[in-house]
Amino acid sequence: MEIDRPLPPEMRRLIELFGLDIFEDLQNLKKNIEFVEANHTSLLAEYPEKWVVIYQQEVIGAGSDISQTIELVKSKNISPGKTYIRFLTKQPITLILPSLN
């Protein structure tokens, strides 16, 4: 992948540490998130209360159980780390995250 604009110093450092793949993975993740946001209404109508797996801006799987959904992704020989997995619901979700300290 060629980069046609100057990168911020922190991005250059990530590429130095981890290689260009991490940059491509982040770009793909961004595209997958944008896909879900742009299509949220139709995805929610088709996959209510389901975990949805997005890969290359396409739904490649969905399920009620996160573990089974991840196994479905693996069965397609796709690394779950290369996908965006999101639970689609009309209900608000509260996340409690651990402290990073």
pLDDT of residue 68: 92
Neighbours of 15 (CB within 10 A): 15
- Give residue 19's pLDDT: 64
List helix spans (H) across 19-99: 20-38, 40-46, 66-75
Quick one: pLDDT at residue 30? 93
Residue 7's pLDDT is 72
Of 72, 71, 101, 85, nearest to 43 by C-alpha is: 85
| Structure tokens that stand for 60 in this block | 């490649």
Task: Write down the pLDDT at residue 34.
Answer: 96
Q: Which residues of the chain have pLDDT under 50?
A: 1
pLDDT at 20: 61
- Give helix 20-38 / helix 9-18 axis angle, nearest 10°: 120
Q: What is the pLDDT of residue 1?
A: 46
**What is the value of pTM for the model shown?**
0.71
